[in-house]
């Protein structure tokens, strides 16, 4: 059986979340999810505790219904064949859940956005062009979800880093959600990076509004102009200015290279490790602040080792999948 498509609006509203959970229950119960469908389901569950709670509540209710049904008078057999019973079971439950979705948000008024998941593997680089003419470039280990409909364009950066070149449309706002924050396009080119503890947005061209949208984190906002770089986490936000040369260096991964401009060794190592399975480790804390200058391919672990040995005069020793750098 093919992957069953059930569209519901993406929202944090409680009723909409219940409807999303019901739609996923239908897809899991009555179709074979494709690899992309399974990935979308896992990402949806991981997004918020409310998603998992809603899905568990629904599956628990269904299990309880099964137990109550067992206590009632047995129904006449529907069919002597298992396939006949399954068809009856499938259609009955699907009808119940469709009615539940309709009651929650109004079936005839459901928007049907085009939702797609895009991702890259470690060291990967991908450029996608949206139907509205906007472009997004995904850096290494990046996953994002794109939702387009007639009234809005929404992207959620789930991991990694992406460069956005947005075609402005005042009738259809373009927003990027990341870690409880939102970047709202005002006709822009910008870079968004999600790290474990922080979000970084660099505005290359145009204007954009950066704001927190999650009530559980500190509320802050700023209107960004070219050269502005905002760094935010759950408790703070800072905005600084960078030169066009510095911003160009930050985007060098689009050409498959990393540019280090008197960059501390520890920082350069962390950056290169984002792209490679073989990891560099600064094993001597006394050299972490030594600076490195030059251009290295994103897959250039050996090139970096050559610079460390021949330019910085450091020792590099391989242990398993790691290269230990020391004095």
Same domain, 87 and 210: no
CATH code of the domain containing 183: 2.60.120.1440
Domain stop point among 229, 247, 265: 247
Same domain, 64 and 128: no
129 token code pair: 């062009």
> Strand ranges (DSSP E) for 85-227?
114-119, 126-129, 135-138, 143-148, 153-165, 174-178, 181-194, 199-212, 221-224
Q: What is the pLDDT of residues 59-109, one digit of tens each?
A: 666 555 554 455 444 544 444 444 554 454 455 555 555 555 555 444 444
CB 140 within 8 A of CB 160: yes
Same domain, 139 and 178: yes
pTM of the model: 0.66
Question: What three-state secondary structure class fits 271?
Answer: helix
For residue 4, being part of any structural domain is answered with no
Same domain, 129 and 211: yes
CATH code of the domain containing 267: 3.55.50.30
For residue 62, being part of any structural domain is answered with yes
- How many distinct structural domains can be found in the chain? 3
Q: State the pLDDT at residue 20.
A: 74
Q: Which residues of the chain have pLDDT under 70?
A: 1-16, 26-33, 35, 59-113
Q: State the pLDDT at residue 171.
A: 87
CB 276 within 8 A of CB 308: no
Range of the domain at 223: 114-247
Q: State the pLDDT at residue 95.
A: 52
CB 25 within 8 A of CB 130: no
Q: State the pLDDT at residue 291.
A: 94
Same domain, 158 and 274: no
């Amino acid at each position: 059986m093919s992957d069953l498509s059930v569209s519901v609006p993406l929202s944090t509203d409680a009723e909409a979340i219940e409807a999303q959970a019901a739609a996923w229950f239908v897809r899991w119960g009555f179709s074979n999810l494709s690899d992309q469908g399974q990935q979308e389901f896992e990402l949806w569950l991981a997004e918020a505790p409310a998603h998992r709670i809603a899905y568990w509540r629904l599956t628990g209710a269904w299990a309880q219904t099964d137990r109550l049904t067992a206590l009632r008078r047995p129904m006449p057999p529907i069919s002597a064949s298992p396939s006949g019973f399954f068809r009856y079971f499938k259609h009955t439950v699907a009808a119940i859940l469709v009615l539940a979705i309709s009651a929650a948000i109004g079936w005839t008024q459901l928007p049907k956005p085009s939702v797609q998941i895009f991702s890259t593997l470690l060291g990967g680089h991908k450029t996608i062009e949206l139907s509205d003419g906007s472009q997004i470039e995904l850096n290494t280990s990046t996953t994002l979800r794109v939702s387009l409909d007639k009234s809005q364009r929404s992207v959620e950066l789930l991991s990694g880093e992406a460069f956005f070149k947005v075609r402005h449309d005042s009738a259809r706002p373009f927003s990027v959600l990341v870690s409880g924050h939102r970047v709202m396009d005002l006709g822009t080119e910008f870079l968004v990076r999600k790290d474990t503890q922080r979000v970084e947005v660099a505005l290359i061209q145009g204007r954009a509004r950066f704001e927190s949208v999650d009530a559980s984190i500190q509320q802050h906002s700023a209107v960004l102009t070219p050269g502005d770089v905002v760094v935010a986490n759950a408790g703070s936000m800072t905005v600084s200015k960078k030169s066009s040369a510095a911003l160009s260096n930050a985007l060098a991964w689009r050409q498959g290279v990393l540019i280090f401009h008197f960059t501390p060794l520890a920082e350069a190592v962390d950056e290169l490790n984002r792209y490679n399975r073989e990891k560099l480790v600064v094993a001597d804390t006394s050299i972490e602040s030594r600076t490195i200058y030059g251009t290295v391919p994103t897959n250039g672990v050996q090139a970096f080792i050559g610079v460390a040995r021949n330019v910085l005069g450091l020792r590099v020793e391989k242990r398993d999948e790691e290269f230990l750098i020391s004095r």
